[in-house]
Amino acid sequence: MTITATQQTELPVDAALRARAGKVIPSGMYGHMNVTLMPAGFPQFYAEGKGNRLWDVDGNEYLDFMCSFGPMISGYANPVVDAAALAQQKRGDALGGPTARMVELAELMVDTVAHADWAMFAKNGTDATSLAVTIARAATGRKKLLKGGTAYHGANAWFNPNPLGSTPEDRANIIDFEFNDLASLEAAAAEAGGDAAAIILSPFRHDAPGSTDQYIVDPAFARGVRALADRIGAVLIMDEVRTGFRLHTGGAWEPLGIEPDLTAFSKAMANGYAISSVVGIDSLRQSAADIFATGSFWYAGAAMAAAIANIGLLTATDTPAQMNRVGQLLRDGLQSQAAAHGFTVFQSGPPAMPFLRFEDDDSLATAAAFTAAAVRRGVLLHPAHNWFLSTAHTEADVAWALERTDDAFAETRTLFG
């Protein structure tokens, strides 16, 4: 069954899988993929992805503006990326040691990312941010981390927004500051008292939970962060797990002329294959070599081959500009539709990673109703997390989506008249 203008209302295969999962998986699902936290109608299980479309296990088709929460950037089942991964898979993936793809990918990362002199690889974003923090502490001999407020930097004991299972000691060396507020950062540095190992932040503010606006970095703040890190001898860590290769292929702050010391990448690196990376400047090379960091699957070749192919696609043309252009079309259309249906909405963040919220909607009830109505019409959105554009999204796709979001706004108006 393909959704056109009609609505899907029941997901019987999905419901049966949820019932089975509830018996063998804690809560049936966990983490950010747990759709019991979402409005009714969101599918939990999917069967297929191709280009910018997903099909759930009940056969419903969706135009996907979540891109698997970021990993999909070149289209699901991209033939170039998949062929590279499959070719390596046929020769072996996790072998007795790394393949030549590891060296090739490290060379590519150094050539692509402006400030990178070396690269290390792991499997997911938490691996990468944890590696970066460990390297910074090893290099400085210090403990404190200066972190931007409620920013999410991974599901480890240091950064997990849910403290359950961690101890106060795990977070005792974190000092928060406000994004885009140099005075707040200066105060955090003063509180660290000479024990600041690193400043860690994202290229722009996209905190978790995502029910507040995203904030593009103030260039003066960015310059101030770099200057403060240099002055106090702290390592500047850029968390590009969510933003990497969508905002700029050489590093998100490169257009500002500002280079971090370490950057963590993951999500979009390999178009859905499991890999992450930390790249860094030459003066941190020895500290990166001295720490012990490893994983049984960190050196596997198939994901590295996929990353090489995917980064090649992304650097062949100005793909961030393409994603921003199409994302702006979506944003403009949604703004016009919301106004026509009597809603005040606020959109923030770069067009390639848009976020929409409704006025006076702290409970997210309106956002939940709108996104659920859109999902029932075949447009996959999220009420509390930023969305993602990919190179597979076109102007025609946006026009198709806007026909359906217009109906979703109309349905939402009947609920919140």
Q: What is the mean pLDDT of residues 129-136?
A: 98
Q: Would you say residue 139 has pLDDT above 90? A: yes
**What is the predicted pLDDT for the residue at 9?**
61
Total structural domains within the chain = 2
- Token pair recorded at residue 226: 């770099």
* 207 or 138, higher pLDDT: 138
Chain segment 79-112, per-residue pLDDT in tens: 999 999 999 999 999 999 999 999 999 999 999 9
The answer to whether 125 and 283 are in contact (CB under 8 A) is: no
Q: Is 405 part of a structural domain of the chain?
A: yes
Chain segment 356-392, per-residue pLDDT in tens: 999 999 999 999 999 999 999 999 999 999 999 999 9
Chain segment 54-72, per-residue pLDDT in tens: 999 999 999 999 999 999 9
Q: Please, which residues bridge with residue 346 across strands?
A: 357
The reply to whether 156 and 187 lie within a common domain is yes
The reply to whether 124 and 265 lie within a common domain is yes
Chain segment 255-312, per-residue pLDDT in tens: 999 999 999 999 999 999 999 999 999 999 999 999 999 999 999 999 999 999 999 9
The reply to whether 62 and 139 lie within a common domain is no
Report the phi/psi class of residue 26: left, alpha or beta, with left for phi > 0 and alpha for psi in -120 to 50.
beta
Half-sphere exposure of 5 (CA within 13 A, CB side): 3
Residue identified by tokens 């994004």 is 179
The answer to whether 344 and 270 are in contact (CB under 8 A) is: no
The reply to whether 240 and 363 lie within a common domain is no
- The CATH code of the domain that includes 219 is 3.40.640.10
* 40 or 324, higher pLDDT: 324
The reply to whether 25 and 137 lie within a common domain is no
The reply to whether 148 and 243 lie within a common domain is yes
Chain segment 160-210, per-residue pLDDT in tens: 888 899 999 999 999 999 999 999 999 999 999 999 999 999 999 988 655
Rounded to the nearest angstrom, the gap between the alpha carbon of residue 94 and the centroid of all alpha carbons in its chain is 26
The answer to whether 398 and 326 are in contact (CB under 8 A) is: yes
Domain that holds residue 271: 79-316
Q: Please, which residues bridge with residue 236 across strands?
A: 199
The reply to whether 167 and 304 lie within a common domain is yes
pTM: 0.95
Q: Would you say residue 159 has pLDDT above 80? A: yes
Cα end-to-end span (Å), the chain:
32
Between CA 342 and CA 332 the distance in angstroms is 16
Instruction: Quickly count helices (H) and strands (E) in the chain.
Output: 11, 13
Residue identified by tokens 């699901």 is 76
The reply to whether 87 and 222 lie within a common domain is yes
Q: Is 142 part of a structural domain of the chain?
A: yes
Between CA 40 and CA 372 the distance in angstroms is 7
- The CATH code of the domain that includes 57 is 3.90.1150.10
- For 301-325, give the DSSP string: HHHHHHHHHHHHHHHHTTHHHHHHH
3-state percent helix, strand, coil for the chain, nearest multiple of 5? 45, 15, 40
Strand ranges (E), 187-300: 196-201, 235-240, 262-265, 276-280
pLDDT level of residue 2 (50, 70, 90 thresholds)? very low
